[in-house]
Chain A
């Protein structure tokens, strides 16, 4: 078999259809500027110097609902109290699950007693695609230098049935976002910078 030479030519057949590089840990987080549901402009560049959390949101997704039974609000409170900027982003396309207008999103924030800094509607999916947001809740953490330091799941308990801080597999419960923020704000390296996000697929426009 002439595998060696054939493999060499194989790599030349990669086409130009590959999507633009999405958010990669250790790289500058993709820039965006958007209007939040209060009508204020939120530009990532203007948040330099602050730690920023991006939370992909869909209030109708069972994984999101499960987090919003209290865990998510507590985590938001803990870190926004320490000057972390927490942005909730809804990339559901109009007519799809989780799609809300500004008033609807504000009502959701109120109903869930969410402690996010701001909510951004992204019905075209532009920000979602720039980050490669795949599911709700898919979480990103950006350090004060604008570098992405965490990309992945909220925690290691997708079924939300950890008991006494042990998941059903017997592993210790870890909230990856809490861990990344704790380590980053203490000046440490984030020990788990990337995990597989779980949840409902983001309901992007066709």
Chain B
């Protein structure tokens, strides 16, 4: 795979950049750089997104890819005064193959990035957002991909209206992990074998799943043992054999499934050891 910038690839990329558009068709992937709003407004943030449509059977990876794989990466080249916030990672799913569990996405994924528009942006100005996206797409086999994308939006004084892709953003924002409610108790301990987590929730979920933000903490492929009692979700996660130093805080996503659907929460849980 031509990762290193040989002259041929360099020229190819130059040609590609010159013709960069908002859409890239790559093996097993269609990627589009999209905007939540149809215009920009001085001083107001706009949310852009990398929208992947993934061929059935193939997958992309979460920020912690799990046992194998690689997280996608996104780099913006922005006009002066514009700044990009962190990627808002959608909730992943467990992707199991024999002996391994990865974390990632099938079918469709929108990676949103908030962009701050400077207060002194000039109404009438056409702004170009250039981005380089890189990813690894896998089924049984893996194929790295990269694309230079470009999106142009005009600055206007009026409140920006929704773009044709606004619905994608609404749905993706609803599905983003929420902060763990401050009033809900949570506890975690780590012993020689496992992380033992307990979360107090008002609803009784039917399933609980944890996605660790950092690699080498939990054994990804081990079954996650969960049970519920008196509004407390108990989750036991086998510790990774590669966890050699201590962990003070376990960070990740807690997904609670119930009849009403599933909710996900960002967790940062101080651990006591035993």
Q: Nearest CB to that of B3 among chain A residues?
A: A160
Mask: chain A, 164-206; 1 = CB below 8 Å from B; 0 = not: 0000000000000000000000000000011111111111111
Instruction: Determine which of B138, B187, B232, B238 lies in contact with A200 in the assembled complex, contact meaning CB atoms within 8 Å.
Output: B138
Chain A hits for B68, CB < 8 A: 134-135, 197-202
CB of B191 to closest CB in A, whole Å: 7
Number of chain B residues close to chain A: CB under 8 A: 50
Cβ B98 vs Cβ A3 within 8 A: no
Does B198 sit at the interface, judged by CB under 8 A?
A: yes
Cβ A66 vs Cβ B1 within 8 A: yes
CB of A4 to closest CB in B, whole Å: 8
Cβ A7 vs Cβ B98 within 8 A: no
A15 and B138 contact, Cβ closer than 8 Å, known pairs A3-B200, A202-B68, A204-B97: no
Mask: chain B, 240-267; 1 = CB below 8 Å from A; 0 = not: 0110100000000000000000000000
CA distance A25 to B241 in the complex (A): 8
Cβ A3 vs Cβ B187 within 8 A: yes
Chain A hits for B187, CB < 8 A: 3-4, 7
A160 and B4 contact, Cβ closer than 8 Å, known pairs A6-B234, A202-B68: yes
CA distance A134 to B134 in the complex (A): 22
Cβ B227 vs Cβ A18 within 8 A: no
Does A22 sit at the interface, judged by CB under 8 A?
A: yes
A-B contact count (CB 8 A): 143
Chain B hits for A24, CB < 8 A: 241-242, 244
Which of B31-39, B43-51, B109-117, B140-148 makes up part of the contact surface?
B140-148
Q: Nearest CB to that of B216 among chain A residues?
A: A196
Q: Nearest CB to that of A128 among chain B residues?
A: B99
Binding site for B on A (CB under 8 A): 1-4, 6-7, 10-11, 13-15, 17-19, 21-26, 60-63, 65-66, 69, 93, 96-97, 125, 128-129, 132, 134-135, 151-152, 158-161, 163, 193-206
Binding site for A on B (CB under 8 A): 1, 3-5, 65, 67-70, 73, 97-100, 102, 134, 136, 138, 140-144, 185, 187, 189, 191, 193-194, 196, 198, 200, 215-216, 219, 221-223, 225, 227, 229-232, 234, 236, 238, 241-242, 244
Given A23-B241, A197-B68, A201-B69, 16 extra CB contacts under 8 A: A7-B189, A11-B194, A14-B238, A15-B225, A17-B223, A19-B221, A62-B144, A97-B141, A125-B99, A132-B241, A161-B3, A198-B70, A199-B70, A201-B100, A201-B102, A204-B99
